[in-house]
Chain A
Amino acid sequence: MTDPQRLIEGELSAVERALLNSAASDAPSASQLEGAALALGLSPPLTGPWALLGGSSGAKIGAAVATLALVGAGMLHQTTASEPRAHSVVTVPGVVDPAESPPASTSAVVEIVEAPPAPPRPSERSGAKATRSGSLAAQVALIDEARSLLGAGDAKSALSSISRYRVTYPTGAFRQEAFLLELEALAASGQKTRAIALGRSFLERYPNSPHAERVGRVLGQAGRKSAP
């Protein structure tokens, strides 16, 4: 299987590129590395000129230095390694609190009808913050619930979750995902005509959506299955 090109190597918006690039420079500081090495009874990775020798060479030299140090000062290292380590262990299985579920609705929306969007301006920023505050996590929980139900083969319940999302968040941030999930749920439950109508509306409304390709695929499959 040929590996796909990484996102960062393809066409991206400036924001997407900035976000992906930002991860590359994230690394523990030299003092954090030293602390970790100490806690584990090891030597910190080499930095400075030694590091220029390359990862594997530097690592080999580091290991050799560490081994020599261990042999030369066996008792000291043995003692260090057997002492309680200076770290706090972070385990513990937990229970994730379920997100608060919005009220149920019995309506199912097929057509994409929305209030016209207004692009946010810097001067509106504080208002936008207030609107988003407290709702995004709940929105994501409901979208994820629909996705899980659909993944488990329960298209009917998935449609119910999507309907609740739409009623609770008529201008929600994840409307495209809601439509995509609805389209897939309709197709999965045999409602091909509605699925095709919704898919076409989606592509007209969001031709540049990240989901457009998948919508096209689902539409193609639904079209083939509904053909005589």
Chain B
Amino acid sequence: MMTAARVFAKQGLNLWGTAAGFVALLLGLPVLVVAGYLFEPSGEVWQHLLDTTLKDYVINSLLLMIGVACGVLLLGVSTAWLTSMCEFPGRGVFEWALLLPMAIPAYIIAYTYTGLFDYAGPFQSWLRELLGPGYGDYWFPEIRSLGGAVLMLTLVLYPYVYLLARAAFLNQSLCVLDVSRTLGNGAWRSFFQVALPMARPAIVAGLSLALMETLADYGTVQYFGVSTFTTGIFRTWYGLDNAAAAAQLSAVLLLFVFTLVVLEKASRRQARYHHTTQRHQGLDRFRLTRGQAWGAWLFCGATLMLGFLLPFGQLLHWALTTADEQLDGRFLTLIMNSLMLAGSASLLALLLALFFGYSRRLQGGWMVAAAVRVASMGYAIPGTVIAIGVMIPFAALDNQLDAWMRAQFGWSSGLLLSGTLAALLFAYLVRFLAVSLQTVEAGLSKIRPSMDEVARSLGSGPREILGRVHIPMLKGSLLTALLLVFVDVLKELPATLILRPFNFNTLSVRAYELASDERLADAAYASLSIVAVGILPVILLSRSITRSRHAKST
């Protein structure tokens, strides 16, 4: 790594580093704007928060993160291992189907579970009819609670870990596993002592995405009545009418995330996880006994049931039986708008991630590294706060330019960027860059630096190395990055809501408007459309990951 960097540095390639630093700063601007509020006086609101609710925010946010971390690791890693390394009936279907929960926005799954399992819902009503007790006569887990929020977020976020871990397991050079098996290790020991440590960068990348998403979640915790940092931010901003204190809470949230990132880096220390070879043998999956195969099937099946089939079924039921809403031409526009935004944002995010990931590979400088970190912290910040962070510099720029035009030419240029799709796309990049970056970097870290050196010694320039060596090798990671951002943008709500232009709606805006009006059934069509639009790329992605594995094994 160092060698490659040094060689390029000598060639005057500082340009990469400088450009990367500049773009990263630009993208980091909204986060910095929010952090800047740390120095703004906010009155004695902090004393009030300390006296009353701050403790709840901190404790609940921590518990939520710990719970979701355990949940997504358990579901994500085990299903990834089962579907990639073990052979059991239905494996081929689970392979892609386990990704489906990703297409369901967290707050929508929360609504469906509440509809099904709340005290007033059909399940408990049926129980009461069957057994005859009244309120308080029996115990039933309360779905709208901290535990419920952990479950909901786990169910929609485990696919991040699943996706990245699975890609890592599949790409692991089987020689290593073969060696492990030759040395007499069974499936379990090979998993814990060889495969798991080697897949660690990918698993950690997936986990940190899930945790950042957890910290930024507002819809679920708000509906469940769990006070977290996010609900606290909005309560302070809207309720207490104190934007400065709210931004300071967001800044504290940033510190949370920053600590997480630093801890993770520190724990990894100098360990690197490169593959020694890109040659893979034909995959020889572990044969499971009859009992084990049943167990694997049940485990994957239950995950799929809870994460997708159940909520999807409830949505379908609502849409077909109780919705007033009709599917009409307007829906087509909504779908087109959502597709267009998600498509452009995911492509741009991928380009940027490649650019940053590659710049860091060339230039190990801490400045670039830090700038990129700041730029990718947006993922953990609630969308509304990001939107405000985008709005402030954009509107300031527009108004400055306008004032100057008025003074110089007596002509008003108005708002050029604010309230346009460009501003919205920018916000998406700030919010979701982390997703593509984590994925691309996890992929890049597995390519040995000696590959660069060899290509370099054969006379290739950096652009050529990227295009002819890295990108073909990274194809799986790139597709993953593209899809993750695509689905995230499809589900994104708060920034879309506040930054979009006049007369411009998306599926998620539609679903939210009806759901927040407490017309859950009417929101079902829009929610189903989000899921449907999200499913297609999910399946394509899964197939291409499997295919890329097959291509390599020949």
A binds B: no
